[in-house]
């Protein structure tokens, strides 16, 4: 399963990419707004660092504007994936952009029917938001299970990109279900490194080694 970083923060991306575990980045208007500056310049800088798919979201809400903005975003760098919200206009814009060869990530997916419609118009990714469903006492990972089952039965090339990830167990469950991608804040990826037995084990190895060296 691929891991994407869900952030617009270049420093976070620069810190994580050298570890070799980051396959791409997703951004959204809220994340980009936090960064300030010129969003398109930031997207370009992120692409240069990541050298993998970088989702940049349109803010237009009618299809003509989405297509225009999508084309402009796609022109920033070949790694840009145009992110479009799941609306009727979003679906129409996705069809046009996908037919032109632009990769589109259809975002704000909260049901299996939405994922199916996005796949039918050629989305490269669908982004179901598991954390936001959990937040309202709905089964976020249950939605991923449904979409995996549906996509498995058809020759869609659309990848399931698990979004709105809140903790490492979302990553574990997504991988067990066979999701294609999980996009995570860097805090969630950091949490995946931690295990007290690793720390205790390393401390003991080093202490034993030091004792043996001192006794030589």
120 vs 132, which CB is nearer to ligand E4P? 132
Nearer to ligand E4P among residue 26 and residue 158 (C-beta) = 26
How buried is residue 204: exposed, middle or buried, by Cβ count under 10 Å (0-12/13-18/19+)? exposed
Q: Does position 28 bind ligand E4P by CB under 6 A?
A: yes
Backbone angles phi, psi at 125, to 5 degrees: -140, 150
Coil/strand/helix, residue 110: coil
Residue 37 DSSP symbol: S
Q: Contacts with ligand E4P in 95-124 (CB under 6 A)?
A: 107
**Is residue 9 involved in binding ligand E4P (CB under 6 A)?**
no
For residue 171, the minimal CB distance to ligand E4P (Å) is 13
Residue 212 and residue 193 in contact, taking contact as beta carbons nearer than 8 Å: no
DSSP 115-131: HHHHHHTT-SEEEEBHH
CB contact set of 172 (below 8 Å; sequence gap of 6+):
none
3 state DSSP class of 85: strand
Task: Examine residue 164 and tell whether it contacts ligand E4P (CB under 6 A).
Answer: yes
| Residue in 103, 183, 188, 189 binding ligand E4P, rule: CB under 6 A | 183
What would the x/- binding string for ligand E4P be over residues 58 to 97, using CB under 6 A?
Answer: ----------------------------------------
178 part of the interface to ligand E4P, by CB under 6 A? no
Stretch that binds ligand E4P, among 66-74, 90-98, 127-135, 137-145 (CB under 6 A): 127-135
What is d(CA 134, CA 33) in angstroms, rounded to the nearest whole number?
25
Asked whether position 158 contacts ligand E4P by CB under 6 A, the answer is: no
| Interaction between residue 147 and ligand E4P (CB under 6 A) | no
Q: Give the C-alpha separation, 125 to 162, whole Å.
A: 10
- Catalytic entry in 34, 68, 83, 120: 83
Mark whether 83 is an active-site residue.
yes
* Count of residues that interact with ligand E4P, criterion CB under 6 A: 11
Residue 109, H or E segment: strand 104-109
User: Which spans of this chain sit near ligand E4P (rule: CB under 6 A)?
Assistant: 6, 26, 28, 107, 127, 129, 131-132, 163-164, 183
**Which residues are catalytic, by number?**
83
């Amino acid at each position: 399963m691929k891991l994407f970083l869900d952030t617009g923060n270049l420093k976070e991306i620069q810190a994580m990419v050298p570890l070799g575990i980051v396959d791409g980045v997703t951004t959204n208007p809220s994340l980009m707004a936090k960064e300030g500056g010129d969003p398109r310049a930031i997207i370009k800088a992120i692409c240069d660092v990541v050298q993998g798919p970088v989702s940049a979201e349109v803010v237009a809400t009618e299809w003509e504007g989405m297509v225009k903005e999508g084309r402009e975003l796609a022109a920033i760098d070949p790694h840009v994936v145009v992110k479009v919200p799941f609306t009727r206009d979003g679906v129409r814009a996705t069809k046009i952009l996908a037919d032109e060869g632009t990769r589109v990530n259809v975002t704000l997916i909260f049901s299996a029917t939405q994922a199916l419609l996005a796949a039918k118009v050629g989305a490269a990714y669908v982004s179901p938001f598991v954390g936001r469903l959990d937040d309202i006492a709905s089964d976020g990972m249950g939605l991923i299970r449904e979409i995996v089952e549906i996509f498995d039965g058809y020759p869609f090339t659309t990848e399931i990109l698990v979004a709105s990830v809140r903790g490492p167990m979302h990553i574990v469950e997504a991988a067990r279900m066979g999701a294609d991608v999980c996009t995570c804040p860097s805090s969630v990826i950091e949490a995946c490194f931690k295990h007290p037995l690793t720390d205790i084990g390393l401390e003991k190895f080093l202490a034993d080694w030091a004792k043996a060296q001192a006794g030589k």
